[in-house]
Amino acid sequence: MIVSNWKMNGSKLSVEKWIKEVSKSILPKENVPCVFCPPVCYLDLSRKIIDENSSPISLGSQIIESSTQTALTGGINSQMLQDYSTDYVLIGHSEQREHYKEDNASLRLKLNSAIDSQISVIFCLGESEEIKNNNKTKEFLADQLEPLLEQDFGLLTLAYEPVWAIGTGLNATSKYIDEIHGFLKDYCQTRFALKQNVSVVYGGSVKLENCEEILSSNNVDGLLIGGASLDPETFSKIYNFS
Ligand code: PEP
């Protein structure tokens, strides 16, 4: 899976241009979904352009609320996402963990909501620089995985995104990524006895120049790309490397 996360970027014009260009440029592979996560206000437009162009791109949301009922100004719930046939949702991105004070309990509710609505989850996790320097990464990630306990996933993708690598230009080395992805897969199998295989994609300063090396590990099942995915040509080239 190759995921484009636009964060809080874009316009109607750039969304339309991106979808049209990427749809023409990528060589779609059945086992490598191409997922576009625009700001939520562009989901409607994106769905329309994807459908009109018979595009192979899948649609992902950057947000989901845990409840469909709560009075919540600004909230976007799973039913609204279903209305746009949203295929995927990012849950647990480090920026949202920080800004919205998300914790394991609130993330668990968001996971429930996505699973109940059959929206495929891309669950993001990753350690800070301080945790890495204190050699506590694996313990920390194990704790971040706890909301997955006893959840019934049809399909689960983890996005390993070390916080120190997001938007900094400093990607983790392929050796480090390989080790951490291997740990996440083993941990999910033993701790959660997940029936299906868990896919683990990497995110954090992925660029055209480093994507091939990162993807060369057998433990890397794809990429989640922020900044470098805004340019349709760069994103398409990265997809085609996968
Ligand atoms: C992200 O948005 O999750 C991300 C990894 O961003 P960037 O590729 O810009 O580091």
Instruction: For residues 92 and 40, give the distance between their C-alpha atoms in angstroms, rounded to a whole number.
Output: 16
The predicted model scores a pTM of: 0.96
Tokens of 140: 């920390």
pLDDT at position 196 is 58
Q: What is the mean pLDDT of each run of 10 residues along the chain (242 residues)?
A: 98 98 97 97 98 97 92 93 96 97 96 94 97 97 93 85 94 95 92 75 97 96 98 98 92
Tokens of 106: 């609130």
Distance 222 CA to ligand 1 centre (A): 13
Side-chain-facing half-sphere of 93: CA atoms under 13 Å: 22
3-state class of 122 per DSSP?
strand
> What CATH number belongs to 2-17+32-241?
3.20.20.70
- Mutual orientation of helices 12-25 and 232-241 as an angle, nearest 10°? 30
Side-chain-facing half-sphere of 109: CA atoms under 13 Å: 11
187-210, pLDDT tens digit by residue?
Answer: 988 887 765 568 999 999 999 999
Instruction: Report which ligand 1 atom has the smallest distance to the Cα of 7.
Output: 2
> CA distances (Å), 224 to each of 52, 152, 157, in order?
25, 23, 11
The finding on whether 161 has its CB within 6 A of some atom of ligand 1 is yes
Residue with the smallest CA separation from ligand 1 atom 4 is 226
Residue with the smallest CA separation from ligand 1 atom 3 is 226
Among 83, 13, 98, 87, which residue's Cα sits nearest to residue 55?
Answer: 87
Distance 146 CA to ligand 1 centre (A): 23
Among 229, 159, 227, 223, which residue's Cα sits nearest to residue 19?
Answer: 229
Read off φ and ψ for residue 220, nearest 5 degrees. Answer: -100, 115
Burial of 8 (0-12, 13-18, 19+ CB in 10 A): exposed
pLDDT at position 149 is 84
Q: Where are the domains of the chain?
A: 2-17+32-241
DSSP string spanning 18-55?
HHHHHHHH---BTTB-EEEE--GGGHHHHHHHHHHTT-
3-state class of 240 per DSSP?
helix
